[in-house]
């Protein structure tokens, strides 16, 4: 798992690549904690290069979503496709998260 963080006009963009799963999720958590602590209005989590997602990775994204929402911010999931999209759909999260640019 690799996470590249960039600033955008109204928030923060996180490009998460590789596998976000039980093995790698602990690498992402401190990054998400730091993002939330900055209280951005919007966080875009870009899954363009994410190849694998499991329930542990989903848990970290759900945690980000809940904390951002509590602060009045939003989370956008961008370009979720293939297996990661399947996982989000199987949990009904594609109807909860703002999803953009999904490749079917």
Partner 1 sequence: METDSQCKRVMFRIRAALEYRPLTVDLVSTLSVQVAMADRTFRNEIVTAFGEAFNNLVVHGYAGRADGMVEVEAEMTCDQITLRLLDGGLQVDFASLGPPDLGSLPEGGMGVFMMRALVDDVSYLAGELNVLTLTKRVR
Under the rule (CB under 8 A), what is the footprint of partner 1?
19, 21-23, 52, 54-56, 58-60, 62-63, 65-66, 82-83, 86-87, 90-92, 96
Say which DSSP state 103 is in: B
Query: What is the C-alpha separation between 70 and 57, in angstroms, rounded?
Result: 20
At closest approach, how far in Å is the CB of 23 from partner 1? 4
At closest approach, how far in Å is the CB of 41 from partner 1? 20
Say what the alpha-carbon torsion angle 98, 101, 103, 104 is, to the nearest 10 degrees. 50
At closest approach, how far in Å is the CB of 35 from partner 1? 16
Query: What is the C-alpha separation between 101 and 2, in angstroms, rounded?
Result: 20
Task: Between 3 and 32, name the residue whose CB sits nearer to partner 1.
Answer: 32
């Amino acid at each position: 798992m690799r996470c590249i963080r960039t600033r955008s006009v109204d928030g923060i963009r996180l490009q998460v690549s590789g596998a976000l799963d039980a093995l790698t999720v602990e690498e992402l958590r401190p990054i998400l904690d730091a993002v939330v602590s900055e209280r951005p209005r919007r966080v875009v989590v870009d899954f363009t290069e994410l190849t694998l997602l499991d329930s542990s990775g989903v848990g970290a994204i759900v945690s980000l979503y809940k904390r951002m929402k509590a602060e009045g911010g939003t989370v956008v999931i961008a370009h979720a496709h293939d297996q990661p999209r399947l996982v989000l759909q199987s949990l009904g999260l594609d109807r909860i998260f703002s999803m953009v640019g999904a490749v079917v």
